[in-house]
């Protein structure tokens, strides 16, 4: 009963905020931008008359097909989503520090691990909602463009791959939450997330990619080379251990560290 009350409170706090609309808009800009390049690849002459470079889409390897479109969508959810999801988690865990209400929250007669679990559920639901909305938008845009190669199988594979990338990205963010409560604000976790995104792309070009947590998503979605058809079991173990370590670290930081503001 205590956990349900804490979770409902966290959802109500999110409902009163407007930042979730910002994250939704940011993610949904991805398919719109991708649609522009798809249209350029389909209509290079018309794009040239409008001052757009039709060769740009060709030079970046963009083909106006559902297969190409789907691959880039998965990259948007995976690589781009890693940074956006870090922002979501930093906001959920750092909002009280920014507003100066963390000491009031932690003074409540409620075990602190319930706050951590509730916030992770809110962040997960938030992330899932905007990813599903973005994928629905992407399907509508793809149909409106009339891209060749459409089939129900392609859509199902795209949604499945995108949700897998979104899920792995989510399993990495407890470390961001840990840094948020340790740093008591937004800057440290966002800086960490950006650094790991860059470092993940560096390691993604090496043989260590399957063992470095922040290289696994770029490797899966193909942002550091050809997308892999399947990850080795060791990669899933690394991600799971990263998730567990992040959750335990976040709980321990709130329970044992000096949380005075």
Separation of alpha carbons 80 and 27, rounded Å: 8
Residue 122 near residue 6, CB atoms below 8 Å: no
Separation of alpha carbons 249 and 183, rounded Å: 13
pLDDT, residue 19, reads 86
pLDDT, residue 54, reads 47
Separation of alpha carbons 90 and 193, rounded Å: 10
pTM of the entire structure? 0.88
Separation of alpha carbons 201 and 95, rounded Å: 29
Separation of alpha carbons 198 and 188, rounded Å: 16
Query: What pLDDT digit, counting tens, does each position of 41-78 carry?
Result: 887 777 777 766 645 445 456 788 899 899 999 999 99
pLDDT, residue 2, reads 76
Separation of alpha carbons 139 and 66, rounded Å: 10
Q: Extract the residue ranges of the chain whose pLDDT is less than 70.
A: 51-61, 99-110, 257-261
pLDDT, residue 59, reads 45
Separation of alpha carbons 208 and 216, rounded Å: 10
Residue 70 near residue 158, CB atoms below 8 Å: yes
Q: Which residues contact 255 (CB under 8 A, 6 or more apart)?
A: 112, 113
Query: What residue segments make up the domains of the chain, in order of their start?
Result: 2-256
Q: Which of 59, 27, 29, 66 lies closest to 44 in space, CA to CA?
A: 59
């Amino acid at each position: 009963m205590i956990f349900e009350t804490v979770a409902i409170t966290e959802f109500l706090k999110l409902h009163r905020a407007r930042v979730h609309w910002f994250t939704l808009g940011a993610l949904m800009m991805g398919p719109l931008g991708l649609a522009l390049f798809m249209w350029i690849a389909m209509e290079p002459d018309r794009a040239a008359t409008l001052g757009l470079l039709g060769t740009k889409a060709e030079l970046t390897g963009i083909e106006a097909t559902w297969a190409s479109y789907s691959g880039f969508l998965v990259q948007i959810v995976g690589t781009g989503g890693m940074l956006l999801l870090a922002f979501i988690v930093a906001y959920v865990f750092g909002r009280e520090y920014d507003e100066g209400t963390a000491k009031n929250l932690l003074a409540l007669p409620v075990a602190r691990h319930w706050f951590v679990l509730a916030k992770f559920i809110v962040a997960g639901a938030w992330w899932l909602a905007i990813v599903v909305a973005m994928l629905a938008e992407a399907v509508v845009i793809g149909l409106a463009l009339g891209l060749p190669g459409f089939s129900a199988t392609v859509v199902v594979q795209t949604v499945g791959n995108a949700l897998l990338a979104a899920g792995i990205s989510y399993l990495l963010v407890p470390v961001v939450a840990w840094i948020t409560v340790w740093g008591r604000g937004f800057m440290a976790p966002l800086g960490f997330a950006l650094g790991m995104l860059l470092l993940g792309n560096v390691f993604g070009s090496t043989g260590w990619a399957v063992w470095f947590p922040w290289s696994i998503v770029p490797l899966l979605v193909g942002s550091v080379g050809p997308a892999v058809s399947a990850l080795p079991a060791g990669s899933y173990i690394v991600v799971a251990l990263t998730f567990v370590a992040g959750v335990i670290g976040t709980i321990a930081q709130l329970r044992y560290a000096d949380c005075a503001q």
